[in-house]
Amino acid sequence: MVDIWNEALQGLQPRLGEQTYDMWLRPIELATIRDDTLQLTAPNRFMKEWFETHYLGVVLDEIQRRTQTRYSARIEIATPKPAPAEPAAAPAEPKPAVPVPAPAPARPLPPPPQGLSERYRFDSFIKGASNELAASAAWAVAQEPGQRFNPLFIYGGVGLGKTHLLHAVGHHIHATRPEQRIVYLSAERFMNEFIAAVRCNQFEEFRARYRETCDVLLIDDIQFIAGRDRTMDEFFHVFNALYESGKQIMVTADRVPADMEGMEERLTSRLNWGLVADVKSPDLETRAAILRQKAELDGLEISDRVLLHIATLVRSNVRELEGALVRVATFAELKRVPITEAFVGEVLSDLAQPLEPQTVTVERVQKLVATHFSLRVADLKGPRRHRHISRPRMIAMYLSRELTDASFPEIGQRFGGKDHSTVINACRRIKSMQTSEPEVRLAVEGLRRQLAPEGLAARL
């Protein structure tokens, strides 16, 4: 079967010219043929897209001519091999014998950004209420780097998709604007490179890499440099240089800038200049959707019921959720048993139990919020609209929605029978007040931490 492919490509070589063949056809490989579909792999997205738009049609025609069969094709991106053979160098203008659009990038394109995981793309990121703002903002940044939210600051607990979004932005910008020079790295690596550069007298190269030849800077886990004075200082200059020339900066962290102990004030204020968006623990529906996608990707046959059951047991974060699925699937395979709800319960029993006492209920939220604002729970449930009552009430509704599985109508019910639109409204207002009013944000964060301490299931 592979022969059809190779023969067709070689048959085309005289027509397309050797250079075009080497540059754009040879790297595309045939993995399998399923029915009438060729499964192809390309070394990267850029090659894939170029091949698809310029050569795929010609190749399929050639195969049809040889086999009398019309195939269609699906192209996947191969997992990267170490040290690719400089695919980004611009080829000389090929002179095809037949008119085929000639691939001739005007100047050498920068290589694809290093360190981005193939799996972390927008199309594999499940959006839900818990990450909607962050995901939409990341998407906006990916579409118009440097234009909308600069810097974009995404924060939240561990395993909630921050790194995933950061990579997704890098991939998307690279695919749509291959000329943009994208630099992605963790803040820890930034620090290590900085120290090494200073030590080895290579500061000029370091400066050039981050301040001059960088169009998009993606930094993961910025909290790492808090308290490291020289690195913070250097990052401050990098930030200013990029910001002033309109380059996109996107940063993730485990908490809001103001809460990073040891972070210089001039840095925290800059990190607040653009948009600050959080990722929260996903709600049940989102957890189930994430599991469904992962099961599909991994080719696991698990019913929706069972997936939902896993999603109910594992609430803390997405990484744990994925881990749980892998564990269940592995055990089932080893024991050669079907994956049922009972089996899941057995395999995940250690995850499920210790979390139970932590359950956050609407009642707990109401009590804590009332105490915090020196009110009575009855005030929160009552009708009074004075601001010193209505605001805590809205915060309590917001936290109930965020930390429990209660629906908007249920929450309205527990707050003295209010309409669900009142609850929706409250949640919206508190969400936006958190960016505009620091006291509200601090109150919400403090309360959230008390209800769902870090390290434990934030969502329980």
Q: Whose CA is closest to 110, among 32, 215, 23?
A: 215
Q: How far is the CB of 123 from Mg ion (least distance, A)?
A: 19
Sole window of 16-24, 160-168, 209-217, 381-389 interacting with Mg ion (rule: CB under 5 A): 160-168
Q: Binding Mg ion by CB under 5 A: which of 163, 248, 286, 316?
A: 163
Pick between residue 21 and residue 139 the one whose CB is nearest to ligand ADP: 139
What does each C-alpha distance from 117 to 107, 212, 341 come to in angstroms? 26, 25, 32
Report the distance separating Cα 284 and Cα 129, nearest Å.
10
For residue 399, the partner it binds in ligand ADP, Mg ion, none, with Cβ less than 5 to 8 A by kind, is none
Pick between residue 120 and residue 373 the one whose CB is nearest to ligand ADP: 120
Pick between residue 123 and residue 439 the one whose CB is nearest to ligand ADP: 123
The gap from C-alpha 83 to its chain's centroid, in whole angstroms, comes to 25
Report the distance separating Cα 372 and Cα 456, nearest Å.
22
Pick between residue 163 and residue 281 the one whose CB is nearest to Mg ion: 163
For 275, residues 6+ apart whose C-beta sits below 8 A from its C-beta are 137, 148, 149, 152, 153, 435
Report the distance separating Cα 344 and Cα 300, nearest Å.
14
Sole window of 87-95, 161-169, 324-332, 390-398 interacting with Mg ion (rule: CB under 5 A): 161-169
Binding letters toward Mg ion, positions 84-103, x by CB under 5 A: --------------------
For residue 401, the partner it binds in Mg ion, ligand ADP, none, with Cβ less than 5 to 8 A by kind, is none
Q: How far is the CB of 251 from ligand ADP (least distance, A)?
A: 12
Question: 366: exposed, middle or buried (C-beta count within 10 Å: 0-12, 13-18, 19+)?
Answer: buried
For residue 120, the partner it binds in Mg ion, ligand ADP, none, with Cβ less than 5 to 8 A by kind, is ligand ADP
For 323, residues 6+ apart whose C-beta sits below 8 A from its C-beta are none
Residue nearest to ligand ADP (CB): 161
Pick between residue 95 and residue 119 the one whose CB is nearest to ligand ADP: 119
State the residues that interact with ligand ADP by CB under 6 A: 120, 124-126, 131, 158-164, 290, 318-319, 322
Residue nearest to Mg ion (CB): 163
Three-state DSSP class for residue 172? helix
For residue 131, the partner it binds in ligand ADP, Mg ion, none, with Cβ less than 5 to 8 A by kind, is ligand ADP
Q: Does 286 bind Mg ion (CB under 5 A)?
A: no
Report the distance separating Cα 221 and Cα 275, nearest Å.
16
Three-state DSSP class for residue 195? helix
Pick between residue 25 and residue 134 the one whose CB is nearest to ligand ADP: 134
Count of residues engaged in binding Mg ion, rule: CB under 5 A: 2
Sole window of 128-136, 163-171, 257-265, 329-337 interacting with Mg ion (rule: CB under 5 A): 163-171
Pick between residue 291 and residue 344 the one whose CB is nearest to ligand ADP: 291
Sole window of 158-166, 318-326, 331-339, 430-438 interacting with Mg ion (rule: CB under 5 A): 158-166
Pick between residue 27 and residue 257 the one whose CB is nearest to ligand ADP: 257
* Burial state string for 268-279 with b = 16 or more CB within 10 A and e = fewer than 16: eebbbebbbbbb
Pick between residue 131 and residue 231 the one whose CB is nearest to ligand ADP: 131
Q: How far is the CB of 163 from ligand ADP (least distance, A)?
A: 3
Report the distance separating Cα 25 and Cα 400, nearest Å.
56
Q: What's 79's DSSP letter?
A: P
Q: How far is the CB of 166 from Mg ion (least distance, A)?
A: 8
Q: How far is the CB of 249 from ligand ADP (least distance, A)?
A: 17
The gap from C-alpha 103 to its chain's centroid, in whole angstroms, comes to 32
Report the distance separating Cα 157 and Cα 111, nearest Å.
32
For residue 158, the partner it binds in Mg ion, ligand ADP, none, with Cβ less than 5 to 8 A by kind, is ligand ADP
Three-state DSSP class for residue 97? coil
For residue 109, the partner it binds in Mg ion, ligand ADP, none, with Cβ less than 5 to 8 A by kind, is none
Pick between residue 255 and residue 364 the one whose CB is nearest to ligand ADP: 255
Question: 404: which 2 tokens?
Answer: 């429990």
Sole window of 31-39, 43-51, 156-164, 420-428 interacting with Mg ion (rule: CB under 5 A): 156-164
Q: How far is the CB of 252 from ligand ADP (least distance, A)?
A: 6
For residue 190, the partner it binds in Mg ion, ligand ADP, none, with Cβ less than 5 to 8 A by kind, is none
What does each C-alpha distance from 172 to 80, 145, 169, 282, 297 come to in angstroms? 17, 10, 5, 24, 20
Partner residues linked to 75 by β-bridges:
40
Q: How far is the CB of 163 from Mg ion (least distance, A)?
A: 3
* Burial state string for 87-112 with b = 16 or more CB within 10 A and e = fewer than 16: eeeeeeebebeeebeebeeeeebbbb
Query: Which strands sit side by side in the sheet containing 72-77, from one edge to the other?
Result: 29-34, 37-42, 72-77
Point out which residues bind Mg ion (CB under 5 A): 162-163
